[in-house]
Structure 1
Amino acid sequence: MNNQLIDEPASVFTEQIIKQVLQSWISQNRAVTSFFNKYSDDAYLNEVAPGRNRAIYLLGHLTATNDALLPLLGLGEKLFPELEAPFIINADDKAVGDIPSVTELKQCWEVINTTLTAHFSKMRAHDWLDRHTKVSAADFANEPLRNKLNVLLGRTNHQSYHLGQLNFLKEK
């Protein structure tokens, strides 16, 4: 092993790993944004595959789940709490009634991710490795991996999963 690496304090490596996780989250956000700028808004009203969710629903779902990061990570209240019912609680695209337009959802997506990125840029390693708001101090003492960084890893994977679904969309 490189002796220079052995001499580095662990905090340097921790910061580097956190930066890599953040960059992965940012990259996934960019990929989702790019996807929703690919076709006309009407194309996103189509199902991504027969019998599956519509692309607009997936945009709303991803937007609502990113919005939920604000209170979960202790960064503030949701910016668009009205998105929770149609896109998280009623997680059935066909059962959802009125939903915002693609244009409105894109705007919400941008606002939420700009806000999250601003908060994330101020967080230090100890912030990321601290517990999120849905875990008690006692539970966190027993399960320290239930931290904010792990939440972000999960949300990054969640975005990647749905982006994979979206790639089946064909403009009609």
Structure 2
Amino acid sequence: MTRTETIVKMVLDRWDASIKNCGTLLNNLDDETLQKEIAPGKNRGIYLLGHLIAVHDDLLMLLGMGEKLYPQLQEPFLKHADKEITQIPSVVELRAFWANQCEVLKHKFSSLVLEAWFEKHTAVSTQEFVIEPHRNKLNIIITRTSHLQYHLGQLQLLN
């Protein structure tokens, strides 16, 4: 295995493990528990689930892999704080969105050729990328894995 293959594998393995850990936790939390706040006055579990789906939906566009699967989640889960919008999808719907999105991302990631992980993502210009080549697709996975881990820690408080 080349060094490049090793680096990509390490990053994607961490992403996959984080997704799996989150899925396991979500399966252990019932719908009622996800309606609870992480701590008094803080986000509810359902909000964090919707937020993660909305953030991961952006991956498709950032990585040039297609359109968002759930654009309707942008408004309630990225543009507003928890409880600012009363009409949000149910826990059941969000669980289904999460499962589908994880499968779609897994398929898209596995179909990307090795060298493509080091290409620029769509939020960086060609000129910026020449100066900052670390602003690549693989780096997006690193930052989104950290983001997922942060919220996974919060969700653990419901367990």
Q: Which residue of 1 aligns with 2:54?
A: 64
Does residue 73 (structure 1) correspond to residue 94 (structure 2)? The answer is no
- In structure 2, distance between residues paired with 1:87 and 1:31: 21
Does 2:152 correspond to 1:158? no
2:16 to 26, 34, 45: 26
Q: Deviations over 1:112-136 (max 9, x none)?
A: 1111110111112210000000100
Partner amino acid for 1:125? Answer: L
**Could you say which residue in structure 2 is the equivalent of 1:102?**
91
- Which ranges in structure 2 are unaligned for 5 or more consecutive residues? none
Distance 1:126 1:70 in 2: 18
For structure 1, list consecutive stretches of 5 or more residues without a partner in the other structure.
Answer: 1-10
What is the aligned-residue RMSD (CA, Å)? 1.1
2:138 aligns with: 149
Q: How far is 1:37 from its partner? A: 0.9
> For residues 13 and 92 of structure 2, what CA distance do their matches in structure 1 show?
26
Size of the alignment, in residue pairs? Answer: 159
- Please list the CA deviations of residues 3-42 of structure 1 after superposition, one character each: whole Å capped at 9, or x if unmatched: xxxxxxxx81111110111111011111111111112211
Match among 122, 125, 139 for residue 133 of structure 1:
122
TM-score by length of 2: 0.97
Counterpart of 1:36? 26
Task: Supply the distance in 2 between the matched residues of 1:39 and 1:147 (Cα, whole angstroms).
Answer: 35
Normalised to the residue count of structure 1, the TM-score between the two structures is: 0.89
Q: CA deviation at 1:96?
A: 2.0
- 1:134-167 CA-to-partner distances (Å, cap 9, x unmatched) read 1000000000000000000000000000011111
- Highest Rg: 1 or 2? 1
Structure 1 runs, 4 residues or longer, greater than 2 Å off: none
Q: Tell me the residue number matched to 1:4.
A: none
Give the match for residue 15 of structure 1. 5
Q: Percent identity?
A: 45
1:8 corresponds in structure 2 to none
Report 1:40-59 matches (<5 A).
40-59=30-49
CA distance, structure 2, for counterparts of residue 40 and residue 150 of structure 1: 33
